Amino acid sequence: MDDIKKGFFRPNQKFTTKVRERASIEVKDFNVSIGGNHILKDCSLTIPDKQITCIIGPSGCGKSTLLRSFNRLLDMTEDVKIKGQLLVDGEDIYASGVEITSVRRKMGLLSQRPCPLPMSIFDNIAYGCRIHGIRNKKKLRLVVEHYLKAAGLWDEVKDRLNTPAARMSIGQQQRLCLARGLAVEPQFILADEATSALDPISSKTIEDLFLKLKQDYSIVMVTHTLRQALRIADYVVFMYLGEIIEEGPAEQIFKNPQHELTKKYLSGAFS
């Protein structure tokens, strides 16, 4: 990413997470039940590094649950039972004693509807840096500018950084959320149907951004739109009723699916 290198603004060695060469998420025999319903069944999966992985499947198949278990946002749901392992950079994030905030910090999250924080555009980006200890105003300004540029938003908002984020258009809000997530320097970007609430032009902008960002980040996105997966996925995971039915490089899955269910889903027999 052009002039500013990732990690440049770290004030000292306070941050222990090095920017790793390889970032990895490995799911091993992972089971989730919520309120007695078995949502994810024996899922095993390795998310490839620096690629766009699309998780596809019909509604209610557990795509979002899987995504939200990557950064332990599942903890917010009540009555969750988890079995199995989920390794991020080799560390089981569901093991006891794991520092949950540092796990979450590795993953930028884009939710279905953009959710800016109730503060100004500038503070939305700066918030993440502030909670991780960066207070220097000059540095914060640099960081805000850098990531707003990375999200393709700088030119649109540079003159109104102090206006409330809630006044932006919904497409801009989603890019703001992306910039906000990037500003804490994650390794992964998790996108939960991040374009489904957006107009086609804004969706295209987000997709283009993802294609650019995959040089530096591993992107995992849940999508409802097959065509979107066709356009941008490098790796595809097909889920059905809580199970991972088939996974593989996008070309293989789309051109030569092995499983009967995948074939049916891709042909539009159900959605």
* Residue closer to other proteins, measured from CB, 127 or 254: 127
Interacting stretch for other proteins, rule CB under 8 A, among 58-66, 115-123, 146-154, 236-244?
A: 115-123
Q: Which of 19, 95, 166, 170 binds other proteins (CB under 8 A)?
A: 166
Give bridge partners of residue 53 from the DSSP assignment.
Answer: 220, 235
* Residue closer to other proteins, measured from CB, 62 or 257: 62
* Residue closer to other proteins, measured from CB, 119 or 230: 119
Quick check: 73 binds other proteins (CB under 8 A)? yes
Sign of CA dihedral 195, 200, 206, 207: positive
Q: Which of 6, 28, 38, 113 binds other proteins (CB under 8 A)?
A: 113
Binding mask 88-107 for other proteins (x = CB under 8 A): -------------xx-xx-x
* Residue closer to other proteins, measured from CB, 198 or 266: 198
* Residue closer to other proteins, measured from CB, 6 or 132: 132
Quick check: 268 binds other proteins (CB under 8 A)? no
Contact (Cβ atoms closer than 8 angstroms) between residue 163 and residue 119: no
Q: Which of 3, 21, 78, 155 binds other proteins (CB under 8 A)?
A: 78
Quick check: 116 binds other proteins (CB under 8 A)? yes
Quick check: 127 binds other proteins (CB under 8 A)? yes
Structure tokens at 251: 């070309």
- Which spans of this chain sit near other proteins (rule: CB under 8 A)? 71, 73, 76, 78, 101-102, 104-105, 107-109, 111, 113, 115-120, 127-128, 131-132, 164-166, 177, 180-181, 184, 190
